[in-house]
Structure 1
Amino acid sequence: MSVLLIEAFYGGSHKQLMDLLQEELQDDCVLCTLPAKKWHWKARTAALYFMQTVPTSTNYRFMPQHKLARLEKIIGVKRNGDAYPLEDLPGQEKSRTLGGLMRNSKAHRESGLCEAQPGLHTTQREDLPSPLRALARLNKSDASESTNPCQEEEEDKQHLTFNISNILSGEDYQQRPLHIAWPHRWEHDKDPETFFKVLLKLKEKDLPFHVSVLGEAFTEIPDIFSEAKKALGSSVLHWGYLPSKDDYFQALCMADVVISTAKHEFFGVAMIEAVYCGCYPLCPKALVYPEIFPAEYLYSTPEQLFKRLQNFCKRPDIVRKHLYKGETAGFSWAALGGKFRSLLAAEPREDL
């Protein structure tokens, strides 16, 4: 078996899954990626980039014969990986192919899509259209820059092992304030505005709580983060991305409640990880969450979220004594590993 893994958003939980599959499949796995930036552009145009850079191999082109024939005709690629001269294509096909490449190359220039990362298993072919080659070279330098703009601010902290238990060591466990965790990307689709609005309302009511904002930041950070950090003041226990998984899980283990305010979520790995670490989850009654979490852990409006947290701030022992009522064993690699292997080893079908 030889498996080609393509990931246009190589970061966070996406990266975690790709790395796990590559580790488990070892030599049978080829990984091609793009950095975790500009999600909306990746969704639109990443296919063009991968079409030009993924090395051709008969071992993993899970495509029926009729589609392979069509692919040969449209993009001028033989099944042995060589390119047909565009002049050999019919006039209309040639025009459409060239026009599509130029239009999408312009989109690449405007979006910064073609961000090849050094060290990844992506083969950069020399037959790329010149705008794509130039972008690939330029973005090698981009990839070396930090994806966390807060790194300079947090630089001194990152040289120390994060140990939140040291911060809390002087407080009796049951007497300390409720500790709320928000372990999501610092982007608008995770709706940080709603999260911080609820927290600031708690603070206005003089309710005691601590908060750890643990998600990863990228190039463009919503203004609400700097505003909220200043407004929350001493309630902030930790602010910023923890590159060490051990430190990250330790922070989750010390938290009482984990919250999602996401407006876009296919699964929510961060929430499941937090539940494994003993956190009480509060999620929107929408998206994928009702399929994973029992009704007790769902809220419908920000007002409901505020009321739940208000009660927990007054009685943090409620969540500290709580035993999670959902099932998590089915999300482990022990349960899913065999299914992934069976799926990736499946024979190609004509209805793909």
Structure 2
Amino acid sequence: MKKILLLSAYRSDSHASWANWLRQNLVADWRVLELPGRYFRWRIRGNPLSWLGELPALLDGWQPDRILATSMVDITTIKGLNPALASVPVSYYFHENQFAYPLGEGQHSSVDPLMVQLYGALAADECLFNSDYNRHTFLEGVDALLKKLPDCKPDSLAQRLAAKCSLLPVPVKPVAEGQKTAGLIVWNHRWEYDKKPELFLQLLQLLEQQQFDFSLALLGPRADKTPSALQAIRQQFSARIIADGMVSRAEYEQLLGRAQFVVSTAIHEFQGLSVQEAVTAGAIPVLPDDLCYREQYADLYRYQSGDMQAAAGRLLELSGSVNRIGLQAAFRDAGDGWQQWLLMRQ
């Protein structure tokens, strides 16, 4: 049986879903180290310190055949600190890449996260990406970074990396379609700056102005401090809200099954698992013409990014239809892709 060391330095929702699926569906001798999904800058630079005692203890009497590490993991330092891992092949998994991650208000630009991922990609035997958008923005970002560096830098680095990059999405758990509630819009994203909930508020205001009869399921993780956009939505649309907050998995799937629409206003999305889950349940996607969505959904389901007039028009245009699009093969068959990945590395 293949012995795999899984290193995930930031256990956020999508990373957790991926790690859980692998252990439940791929037959291997898994040993897993994970860190909580908070304090991003510390996690991406500090994970070798966080695991300084735990990793040698895990390796005592057990030697992996392969390391599967997320791109949050400083794998070059991990190998340097743990000589037993020096010759173990590495599959480096990109849920995201820092070259294309938007800065939030008050955040400062830093080259450190970029270098962790660049050195990790160079040290890895293969680089796996959850979407083609993630892959090409990473390679474009590497090129852009090297152009800014003053001297003593390698030529054609992105091309060198491209040769070992491939697409392998996070598997999506299909959700059963239920009895649809006409006009039910689900928001099942984080309530954070990169998902632009203030644009979602604008969209709802426009729909109300156009006298569209809708209801809302406001799902997705949120910080302890209520975002201003969510406060405004609660105040202005309280009579339309049928769900608000984290719910059980069963309730979540039931709401997705009832939803007519799933809406995104994001400025950052590398795979869009929440939208994909809703689409499997028959929700009609209304999405920015940007990010990973371009490779996943037809023009009919996309609007000009940031233009809420266009988003409202698209939603109204689709209000008389039903979702029969399904997921594209690369995402629908991601589980088979991971099974093949394990088989080819036996």
1:271 and 1:7 map into 2 onto residues whose CA distance is: 23
Higher share of residues assigned helix: 1
The one of 188, 191, 196 equivalent to 2:201 is: 196
Which of 295, 300, 311 is matched with 1:296 structurally? Answer: 300
In 2, Cα distance between equivalents of 1:41 and 1:219: 20
Match of 1:277 in 2: 281
SS of residue matched to 1:247: helix
Please tell me whether residue 230 in structure 1 is matched to residue 235 in structure 2: yes
1:28 is displaced (CA, Å) by 0.7
TM-score, normalised relative to structure 1? 0.60
Pairwise CA distance, 1:23: 1.4
The one of 246, 253, 259 aligned to 2:263 = 259
After superposition, the C-alpha distances for 1:118-143 in whole angstroms (9 at most, x for unaligned) are xxxxxxxxxxxxxxxxxxxxxxxxxx
| Structure-1 residue corresponding to 2:116 | none
Q: Which amino acid aligns with 1:217?
A: R
The answer as to whether partners of 1:200 and 1:232 remain within 8 angstroms in 2 is no
Tell me whether 1:335 sits opposite 2:336 in the alignment: yes
Of residues 179, 184, 188 in structure 2, which corresponds to 1:183? Answer: 188
Distance 1:181 1:62 in 2: 37
Are residues 24 and 2 of structure 1, via their aligned partners in 2, closer, same or farther at CA, if it must alter by over 3 Å? same
Q: Could you tell me how far apart the structure 1 residues matched to 2:326 and 2:83 are?
A: 55
Match of 2:246 in 1: 241
Shift of 1:241: 1.4
User: What secondary structure does 1:58 align onto?
Assistant: coil
Give how far 1:227 is off.
2.3
Compare the two structures and name the one with the higher strand fraction.
2
**Kept after mapping to 1: 8 A contact 2:217/2:244:** yes
Partner SS, residue 336 of structure 1: helix
Q: Matched residue of 1:195: which SS? A: helix
Superposition deviation, residue 191 in structure 1: 1.2
Q: What is the CA distance between 1:330 and its match in structure 2?
A: 4.3
Structure 2 distance, partners of 1:195, 1:8, is 31
Aligned residues: 241
Q: How does 1:56-67 map to 2 (within 5 A)?
A: 56=59, 57-60=62-65
Query: CA offsets, 1:315-341, max 9 Å, x none?
Result: x3x233x42276357424553232331
C-alpha displacement of 1:46 = 3.2
Deviation string 1:243-289 (CA, Å, 9 cap, x unpaired) is 32x22111111000111111111111111111110011111111111
Q: Which residue of 1 aligns with 2:114?
A: none
Query: What is the alpha-carbon distance in structure 1 between the residues aligned to residue 332 and residue 309 of structure 2?
Result: 31
Contact 1:257 1:319 in 2 (8 A): no
Matches within 5 A, 1:1-352: 1-25=2-26, 28-54=29-55, 55-56=58-59, 57-60=62-65, 75=81, 77-79=82-84, 177-244=182-249, 246-300=250-304, 301-312=307-318, 316=319, 318-320=320-322, 322-324=323-325, 327-328=328-329, 330-342=331-343, 345=345
In the alignment, the residues of structure 2 paired with residue 286 and residue 186 of structure 1 have an alpha-carbon distance, to the nearest angstrom, of 19
Question: Are the counterparts in 1 of residues 199 and 308 from structure 2 also a CA contact under 8 Å?
Answer: yes
The one-letter amino acid paired with 1:319 is S
Structure 2 stretches lacking a partner, 5+ long: 69-75, 87-177
What do you get for the CA RMSD once the two structures are aligned? 3.1
